[in-house]
Amino acid sequence: MTPPYEPQLRRWDWACEESAGRLRQEAPDGVRNEFQRDRDRIIHAKAFRRLMHKTQVFIAPDGDHFRTRLTHTLEMMQISRTIARALGLNEDLVEAISLGHDLGHTPFGHTGESALSQTLAKHGRTFRHNEHSLRVVDHLEKNGEGLNLTLEVRDGVRNHTGKGYPSTREGEIVRVADRIAYVNHDVDDALRAGTIASEDLPAGPISVLGEKMSVRIDTLVRDMISTSKDKGEVSLSDDGYAALMGLRSWLFENVYQDGRSLENQKAFGVVTALFEHYLRHPDQRSSSDPDPLVETVDFVAGMTDRYALATYRRLFMPRGEIFA
């Protein structure tokens, strides 16, 4: 559901020192380089501000210290910049990609994305948040004008997950750092919420990475730096990668896609109901695309958790409560 991001980038052998340009060329800034300009455009985007009210994992948590999409983005950016600096790569490019990578995420985290994906599948379409993030920066921001980001940042945003692969080393860093960040931070939040206990964590990955979150992140960052220097390519060691992906798989099974979670079931139903409602009522959604499916996705995926809940209550249960 996202247009192609041609022209294709050339493959950088190592550091991306300057941009290949933008879809719409612009005069130089004179103060900031092109990737710094992209960073600033993303920070000032409406979609970036909405991340503070979008779930990372836990829906309507009681505590103040659970992560949101915004705090995840900032924590992941810090990891990416640390790795980029150690490897002599472009920190400004890494920062811009990191800040923009989740702009297309749905409300309610993984549950919301799963709900939108399954609902669209009934109409023969797919939804992937990385593709929608590119649509946000290309078409939805600035009242349809888009942010006109550099090709390198757009490539990194599009390929931070999924089958595609980044064209820059900086994009490769973000792709791995994203997993390092959310896997370890989401374990921390699940422990805080009481969803899991320390003894529940898989023994194999923990024995490699460490018992504490800070130790696990430090282990993976150092592993990635040393392995990348040794191999001459951005990479984790085989053991480090296996441990990270093992912990990630465990999280998907026991936290993200836990069908026993009443909150997850409710959030799934909210997103599904909102999508079907606005698909049937085009006059009630924002105008963004001639294709009604695309336009409905734009409207629902852009919602924050609280806006989605308030809208659901107004439409379907004005006197009831969803999350008690």
Average pLDDT, the chain: 90
Give 9 or 163, the one with higher predicted confidence.
163
pLDDT tops 50 at residue 65: yes
Task: Tell me the chain's radius of gyration from C-alpha atoms.
Answer: 20
Please state which of the ranges 60-69, 143-152, 302-311 shows the lowest mean pLDDT: 60-69
* CATH number where 171 lies: 1.10.3210.10
141-150 b/e (C-beta count within 10 Å ≥ 16 → b): beeeebbbbb
- Mean pLDDT (whole number) for 201-227: 96
Q: Is the dihedral of CA 136, 142, 18, 93 positive or negative?
A: negative
Q: What is the pLDDT of residues 66-110, one digit of tens each?
A: 778 999 999 999 999 999 999 999 999 999 999 999 999 999 988
The answer to whether position 215 is within a domain reads yes
The total number of structural domains in the chain stands at 1
The answer to whether position 239 is within a domain reads yes
Q: What is the pLDDT of residues 229-274, one digit of tens each?
A: 999 999 999 999 999 999 999 988 888 766 556 777 888 999 999 9
The answer to whether position 280 is within a domain reads no
Q: Which of 123, 129, 156, 131 is nearest to 3 (CA)?
A: 131
Helix axes 213-231, 69-86, angle to 10 degrees: 40
Per-residue model confidence (pLDDT) at position 267: 87
Per-residue model confidence (pLDDT) at position 4: 45
CA distances from 4 to 37, 131, 262, 294 (A): 23, 10, 38, 15
pTM: 0.91
Per-residue model confidence (pLDDT) at position 14: 76
Q: In the structure, what pLDDT confidence band is assigned to residue 58 with cuts at 50, 70 and 90? A: low
The answer to whether position 19 is within a domain reads no
Per-residue model confidence (pLDDT) at position 111: 87
The answer to whether position 12 is within a domain reads no
Per-residue model confidence (pLDDT) at position 192: 84
The answer to whether position 267 is within a domain reads no
Q: Per the structure block, which two tokens stand in for 124?
A: 């023969």
- Mean pLDDT (whole number) for 288-294: 96
Q: Which domain holds residue 255?
A: 34-260
Give 77 or 58, the one with higher predicted confidence.
77
